[in-house]
Amino acid sequence: MTATTDGSTGALPPRAAAASDTDSETPVAAGVHEAAQRAVRRATDFLLSRQDAQGWWKGDLETNVTMDAEDLLLRQFLGIRDEKTTRAAALFIRGEQRQDGSWATFYGGPGELSATIEAYVALRLAGDAPDAPHMARASAWIRERGGIAASRVFTRIWLALFGWWKWEDLPELPPELIYFPKWVPLNIYDFGCWARQTIVPLTIVSAKRPVRPAPFPLDELHTDPADPNPPRPLAPAATWDGAFQRLDKALHQLRKVAPRRLRRAAMNSAARWIIERQENDGCWGGIQPPAVYSIIALHLLGYDLEHPVMREGLASLDRFAVWREDGARMIEACQSPVWDTCLATIALVDAGVPADHPQLVKAADWMLGEEIVRPGDWAVKRPQLPPGGWAFEFHNDNYPDIDDTAEVVLALRRVKHHDPERVEKAIGRGVRWNLGMQSRNGAWGAFDVDNTSPFPNRLPFCDFGEVIDPPSADVTAHVVEMLAVEGLAHDPRTRRGIQWLLAEQEPDGSWFGRWGVNYVYGTGSVVPALVAAGIPGSHPAIRRAVTWLESVQNDDGGWGEDLRSYKYVKEWSGKGASTASQTAWALMALLAAGEQDSKAVERGVEWLAATQREDGSWDEPYFTGTGFPWDFSINYHLYRQVFPLTALGRYVHGEPFADKAGAALAEAKGS
């Protein structure tokens, strides 16, 4: 599988697209180059045709059936579940079931217990009989793996809402957390923003412990229906897990004696916190889970469904629904228009679309209108920092995203806009905000500064996914690349980010990918950033990365990596079926490292050209995006378009911003 290189190093020189430039190339290289040119033209036409009239792009954001199941459970809890929605959701859920009766959380992945339980319950709500073959397979699979008692906390919370699980057997989450000052461990700002938005409303739900009449029993999902809530073993007291388990037991006792007036005040304070963070479109944080739990919490405090907060919240959830041609209804956990639009803009310009193309100008106009110019929760730790970032979603003013801000700046810088002063001011604010969000170690997280407390992940309540937001290599790389393009490669803050990235390289030469799968994504993000910031292609870190990428190239010429690399690193790192997006990430790294004439790049380009569809698109059922490593995976439907076009465009036309990158390189060497 290992491909050889010609040993070329240094910055990638511009590669002309004209046919005459291939005259001196070998026939094979010329053929690959022509195939790449054809693929670029078709992919460009396809992507331009998918732009919304307002200027944005957005692909579907596919996750797993727990989103659809919990949507039905919410509607059942509120008494608003209707036949059309139920039938459409059930059609989608049934279509995702595996042969063994289970449901996975990503394409081709293993069955997952909690997802299978939630899918099964949703289908029971839709009227599927427990003795139907597909249901019997599911319940047998669930029992074999410990039944409901072995599922995650969030699943058992949903079941407790209907009396299928005892609230007393769930971890305690007191609403008094809302009063913890930010210097006290386990205050709400110790949690990542996505967890914070979920935990605050769940403190109300945990305090209220509501139970709606169950429409049917679930005895078939217990290993022993006579003892459905078996006690969980305690970890040794001398361990962190044991200490937090005992803390949870103490909180259960405290619940019995907590002053009622204080508890009511805490729940009301939590409600105010929730309402203050409702976005203009009615959602919370632009993501589905906090919206669901916020609606439940406020309903428990007496907000009826016609209250404006509730009415707009429920309407926002309907906008997460994707209706398919077969009548099925899939729920998106989130929507990604800002991310998709800036990546599409970068791809099109790097593919040769003129910088003043009307559609690119329209995209820039839309992105400029999405800039967030008021403080959000990030200001708790950076109160003096002026705002100026971009979020991931249509509406999410409370939680701009450091990663999105960096990529939006890179996109805006590529477009020749009719109001350059407006663009410069927006870019200036974005750069200033990103620099101000640098963590103490020199790197960047996704939403917050120094969100690295070790305690939240230890809570018995937090048994699913990442609940803190530490700096990551991919986010840091995107910020470093943006700063280098802005002429700040020599800035001490940029150099600290570079040093952090160099120190974070894995022994095999790769980098861990927090928000994309996984080491291919991390490496594909870091190498272009380091080169843009002045690290030469001959640098040992770059050479190790090139060697690693060559070593994991698939026999078909592409690259792929399965999500299991998050759990089983040695067996799965850089390994998996070839995908368009992951092949593009590898190529972007190799091209930045100066490997444009290597056999590995040639084979990768050939694979992308050969697997492109006639309409200019690529197929990619595999999940290459990450919400929580291993626990929550994402298939961004636009990744299969924007990243291959970016990689092929850079192969045909050379690395972007040759003059500016050269200036940044000179500045970096001088420092």
Do 559 and 531 share a domain, yes or no?
yes
Do 36 and 83 share a domain, yes or no?
no
User: Largest Cα–Cα distance in the chain?
Assistant: 84
Assigned domain for 464 exists: no
Q: Which residues pair with 334 in a beta bridge?
A: 287
Assigned domain for 56 exists: no
627 phi/psi in degrees, rounded to 5: -95, -65
Q: Give Cβ neighbours of residue 165 (< 8 Å, ≥ 6 apart).
A: 148, 156, 157, 159, 228, 229
Between CA 413 and CA 118 the distance in angstroms is 45
Catalytic residue among 365, 377, 403, 631: 403
What six digits make up the tokens of 252? 């259960």
pLDDT tens per residue, range 260-317? 999 999 999 999 999 999 999 999 999 998 999 999 999 999 999 999 999 999 999 9
Share of the chain above pLDDT 90, in %: 85
Ranges 243-257, 274-288, 309-323, 351-365: which has the least confidence: 243-257
Do 149 and 42 share a domain, yes or no?
no
Do 14 and 124 share a domain, yes or no?
no
Query: Which pLDDT does position 252 carry in this prediction?
Result: 76
CATH code for position 592: 1.50.10.20
CB 445 within 8 A of CB 439: yes
Higher pLDDT, 671 or 454: 454
Do 183 and 243 share a domain, yes or no?
yes
What six digits make up the tokens of 488? 């700040």
Assigned domain for 386 exists: no
Do 39 and 143 share a domain, yes or no?
no
Query: Which pLDDT does position 305 carry in this prediction?
Result: 96
pLDDT tens per residue, range 57-80? 999 999 999 999 999 999 999 999
Confidence of residue 233 (pLDDT cuts 50, 70, 90): confident
Do 637 and 506 share a domain, yes or no?
yes
Higher pLDDT, 619 or 251: 619
With vertex at residue 256, the alpha carbon angle to CA 253 and CA 260, rounded to the nearest 5 degrees, is 135
| CB contact burial 177-207 (16+ within 10 A = b; e otherwise) | bbeeeeeeeebbbbbbbbbbbbbbbbbbbbb
Do 33 and 158 share a domain, yes or no?
no
Summary mean pLDDT of the chain: 92
Please give the tally of structural domains in the chain.
Answer: 2
CB 119 within 8 A of CB 69: yes
**Considering 300, 330, 360, which residue would you say is the last residue of a domain?**
330
What six digits make up the tokens of 349? 């310009």
- Read off the pTM: 0.92
pLDDT tens per residue, range 472-482? 999 999 999 99
Residue 234 has pLDDT above 80, yes or no: no
Do 120 and 223 share a domain, yes or no?
yes
Confidence of residue 363 (pLDDT cuts 50, 70, 90): very high
Do 550 and 635 share a domain, yes or no?
yes
Scanning 351-397, the segments in alpha helix (DSSP H) are: 358-369
pLDDT tens per residue, range 81-115? 999 999 999 999 999 999 999 999 999 999 999 99
What's the rounded mean pLDDT across residues 643-668? Answer: 69
Assigned domain for 449 exists: no
Q: What count of other Cβ atoms lies within 10 Å of the Cβ of residue 323?
A: 11
The enclosing H or E element of 633 equals strand 632-636
pLDDT tens per residue, range 379-402? 999 999 999 999 999 999 999 999
Between CA 626 and CA 641 the distance in angstroms is 18
**Considering 330, 361, 378, which residue would you say is the last residue of a domain?**
330
Where does residue 395 fall: left (phi above 0), alpha (psi -120 to 50 degrees), or beta otherwise? Answer: beta
The enclosing H or E element of 321 equals strand 321-323
pLDDT tens per residue, range 560-587? 999 999 999 989 999 999 999 999 999 9
Residue 659 has pLDDT above 90, yes or no: no
Do 302 and 271 share a domain, yes or no?
yes
pLDDT tens per residue, range 5-52? 333 333 322 323 333 333 445 666 779 999 999 999 999 999 999 999
Query: Which pLDDT does position 502 carry in this prediction?
Result: 98
CA-atom Rg of the chain in angstroms:
25
pLDDT tens per residue, range 169-196? 999 899 999 999 999 999 999 999 999 9
Which stretch, 276-285, 457-466, 540-549, has highest mean pLDDT? 540-549
Confidence of residue 339 (pLDDT cuts 50, 70, 90): very high
Assigned domain for 479 exists: no
Range of the domain at 550: 1-49+496-648
CB 336 within 8 A of CB 61: yes
Assigned domain for 458 exists: no
Assigned domain for 289 exists: yes
Assigned domain for 416 exists: no
Between CA 406 and CA 374 the distance in angstroms is 18
Q: Give Cβ neighbours of residue 146 (< 8 Å, ≥ 6 apart).
A: 113, 223
CB 494 within 8 A of CB 488: yes
Residue 131 has pLDDT above 70, yes or no: yes
CB 585 within 8 A of CB 553: no
Question: In Å, what is the CA distance from 222 to each residue of 114, 205, 239, 521?
Answer: 13, 24, 30, 40
Do 36 and 174 share a domain, yes or no?
no
Active site residue 474: no
**Considering 280, 305, 330, which residue would you say is the last residue of a domain?**
330
What six digits make up the tokens of 195? 């967890």
Query: Which pLDDT does position 457 carry in this prediction?
Result: 86
pLDDT tens per residue, range 397-448? 999 999 999 999 999 999 999 999 999 999 999 999 999 999 999 999 999 9
Would the CA dihedral through 186, 190, 193, 195 be positive or negative?
negative
Confidence of residue 257 (pLDDT cuts 50, 70, 90): confident
